[in-house]
């Protein structure tokens, strides 16, 4: 399958990139690894006139951790680099795990976590756990930077809150709170190597036996990844007993708005939300208690 024709530019700074994007507007597309973008172009779903490659912007490849600020994953950090980064593995195991379960070795050597986010697929593997950690995006534009909570970034499948001239510089993940645990669970029906039919991340913070904070994020069951707010409400401030986990899981399944597609029917997805939410909460609880 051939690619349609386009121009290619590779700016060397974020500033320069933003200026190009500002000038070209909708006719240009940012490219990180290209593993989503080029496929969409091959299938004819996208036909940008210009591709703005981020490869030459050295600072974007960075992954760093600072105790008070947390983890920064630059826009060009590869999935594989995130998956194998010692600090990420230790302090954000669900983030490393999600990255390590995305696609295949080769695609992880090309694709990025930020690309996975910006592609805004409802099934994206890396979004739920980052949302559960309360991650923010750092967005650059010709006039400076802004921050946005990851969960406010998505408008619909493939649609995100970015204005003309803007690009995502990276994700900032706050330091994990004391007594917290985050688990990522996903299921695909057909193979161990597959796009998720349903994915769920759960974060709990346990303080003196009570659930001080909880987040449940559901993927692939709505136009964007969503929080199961009512299910969270059932747990907040309570003891995290098996029974309440089961109840919350059932509630989450009610909050899901799944569709039927090639990968699963809506009924199956709904059932799986309950199963995966339960498993995620159980694992998160275990991690929280062990921390």
Partner 1 sequence: MMHKISIKVNGDLYVLSVEPWKTLNQVLREDLNLTGTKLGCGTGDCGACTVLVDGRSVTSCLTLAVEMDGKEILTVEGLAPAGEELHPIQRAFVEKGAIQCGYCTPGMELSALYLLKNNPSPSEAEIREALSGNLCRCTGYNKIVEAVQWAAKELKAEKSKSTRSK
Partner 2 sequence: MREFSVVGKDIPRPDAWLKATGKAVYTDDIKLPGMLYGKLLRSPLPHARIVNIDVSKAQALPGVKCVITGQDIPKVKYGNWRLFPATQDEYALAIDKVRFVGDEVAAVAAIDPDIAAEALQLIEVEYEELPPVFDIESALKEGAPVIHEESPNNVSVTRKIEYGDVEEGFSKADYVREDTFTVHAVSHAYLEPCSTVAQCDLDGRITLWTSTQTPYIIQCLLASTLEMRENDVRVIKPYVGGGFGGKMELRPWEFCAAFMAKLTGRPVKFTLTREEELATGRRRHPMVIYSKVGFKKDGTLVAKDLKISLDGGGYNSMGPTATFLCGNFGAMLYRYPNYRFFGQHVYTNKPPAGAMRGFGAPQSLFATETQMNMAAEELGIDPIELRIKNAMVEGDVIPDVATISSCGFIDSLKEAARMSNWKKKRKSLAPGEGIGVGCYSFISGGVFNWFNTQYPFSAAEVRVFSDGTAHLLTMASDIGQGSDTALKQILAEELGLEMKDIRVTSADTAVTPQADLGTWGSRVTLMAGNAVIDAAKKIKEKLFGAVSARFNLNVIYDMECKGGRVYAKGRPDRGMSFGEAVAMVQKAQRGEPLVARGYYTPRGKGLVTPAFSFGAQVAHVAVDQETGKVEVKKIWTAHDCGTVINPMAAEGQLEGSIHMALGYALSEQFVMDKGKTLNTTFLDYKIPAAMDMPQSKSAIVDTYEPEGPMGAKEVGEGLVSPTAPAIAEAVYHATGYRCKDLPITPEKILKGLRDTKKRKRKRS
Ligand X SMILES: Cc1cc2nc3c(=O)[nH]c(=O)nc-3n(C[C@H](O)[C@H](O)[C@H](O)COP(=O)(O)OP(=O)(O)OC[C@H]3O[C@@H](n4cnc5c(N)ncnc54)[C@H](O)[C@@H]3O)c2cc1C
Segment near ligand X (CB under 6 A); pick from 109-117, 235-243, 248-256, 269-277: 109-117
Q: Which is nearer to partner 1, 41 or 256 (CB)?
A: 41
Gyration radius of the chain over CA positions = 19
For the segment 33-72, give every residue that binds partner 1 (CB under 8 A).
34-35, 38-39, 42, 51, 53, 55
* 281 binds ligand X, rule: CB under 6 A: no
Choose one: 118-126, 227-235, 263-271, 280-288; the region binding ligand X (CB under 6 A).
Answer: 118-126
Nearer to partner 2, 48 or 170 (CB): 48
Judged by CB under 8 A, the chain residues 170 through 229 that form the site for partner 1 are 192-193
Instruction: Tell me the C-alpha distance between 97 and 137, whole Å.
Output: 20
Q: Decide: is 195 part of the binding site for ligand X (CB under 6 A).
A: yes
CB of 171 to partner 1, least distance (A): 22
Helix, strand or coil for residue 269?
Answer: helix
Gap between the Cα atoms of 150 and 69, Å rounded:
16
DSSP state of 108: H
Short-list 170, 173, 174, CA closest to 74 = 170
Of the two residues 57 and 288, which places its CB atom closer to ligand X in the complex? 57
Decide if residue 148 touches ligand X (CB under 6 A): no
Q: What span, in angstroms and rounded, lies between the C-alpha atoms of 72 and 54? A: 17
CB 197: neighbour CB atoms within 10 A? 23
Q: How many CA atoms lie within 13 A of 88 on its CB side?
A: 27
Binding partner selected for residue 32 from ligand X, partner 2, partner 1, none, CB under the kind-specific 5 to 8 Å limit: ligand X
Straight-line distance from the first to the last Cα atom of the chain, in angstroms, rounded to the nearest whole number = 50
Query: Is residue 266 a contact residue for partner 2 (CB under 8 A)?
Result: no
| Candidate residues 192, 209, 243, 290; the one interacting with partner 2 per rule CB under 8 A | 192
51 contacts which partner out of partner 2, partner 1, ligand X, none, CB within 5 to 8 A by kind?
partner 1
Identify residues 202-261 at the interface with partner 2 (CB under 8 A).
none
Q: Extract the tokens encoding 155.
A: 């408008």
How far does Cα 222 stand from its chain's mean position?
14
Among 115, 134, 181, 225, binds ligand X (CB under 6 A): 115
SS (H, E, C) 146-215: EEEEHHHCEEECCEECCCCCCEEEEEEECCCCCCEEEEEEEECCCCCCCCCCEEEEEEEEEECCEEEEEE
Q: Is 68 a binder of partner 2 (CB under 8 A)?
A: no
Kindly state the tokens that stand for 291: 């921390």
Where does this chain bind ligand X (CB under 6 A)? 29-37, 39, 75, 79, 102-104, 107, 110-112, 114-116, 118-119, 124-125, 167-168, 195
Where does this chain bind partner 1 (CB under 8 A)? 1-8, 10, 34-35, 38-39, 42, 51, 53, 55, 80, 103-107, 109-110, 192-193
């Amino acid at each position: 399958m051939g690619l349609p024709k386009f121009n290619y530019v590779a700016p060397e700074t974020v500033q320069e990139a933003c200026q190009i994007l500002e000038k070209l507007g909708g006719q240009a597309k940012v490219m990180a690894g290209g593993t989503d973008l080029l496929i969409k172009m091959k299938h004819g779903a996208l036909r940008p006139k210009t591709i703005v490659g981020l490869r030459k912007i050295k600072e974007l490849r960075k992954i760093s951790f600072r105790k008070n600020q947390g983890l920064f994953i630059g826009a060009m950090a590869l999935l594989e680099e995130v998956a194998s980064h010692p600090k990420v593995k230790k302090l954000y195991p669900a983030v490393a795990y999600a990255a390590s379960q995305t696609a295949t070795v080769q695609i992880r050597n090309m694709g990025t976590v930020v690309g996975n986010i910006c592609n805004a697929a409802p099934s994206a593997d890396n979004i739920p756990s980052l949302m559960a950690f309360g991650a923010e995006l750092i967005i650059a534009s010709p006039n400076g930077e802004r921050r946005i909570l990851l969960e406010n970034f998505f408008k619909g499948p493939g649609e995100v809150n970015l204005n003309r001239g803007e690009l995502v510089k990276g994700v900032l993940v706050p330091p994990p709170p004391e007594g917290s645990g985050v688990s990522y669970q996903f299921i695909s029906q057909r193979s161990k190597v597959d796009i998720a039919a349903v994915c769920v991340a759960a974060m709990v913070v346990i303080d003196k036996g009570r659930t001080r904070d909880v987040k449940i994020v559901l993927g692939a069951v709505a136009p964007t990844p969503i929080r199961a707010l009512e299910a969270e409400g059932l747990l907040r401030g309570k003891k995290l007993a098996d029974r309440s986990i089961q109840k919350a899981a059932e509630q989450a399944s009610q909050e899901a708005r799944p569709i039927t597609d090639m990968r699963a029917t809506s009924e199956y997805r709904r059932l799986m939300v309950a199963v995966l939410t339960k498993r995620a909460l159980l694992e998160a609880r275990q991690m929280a208690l062990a921390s």
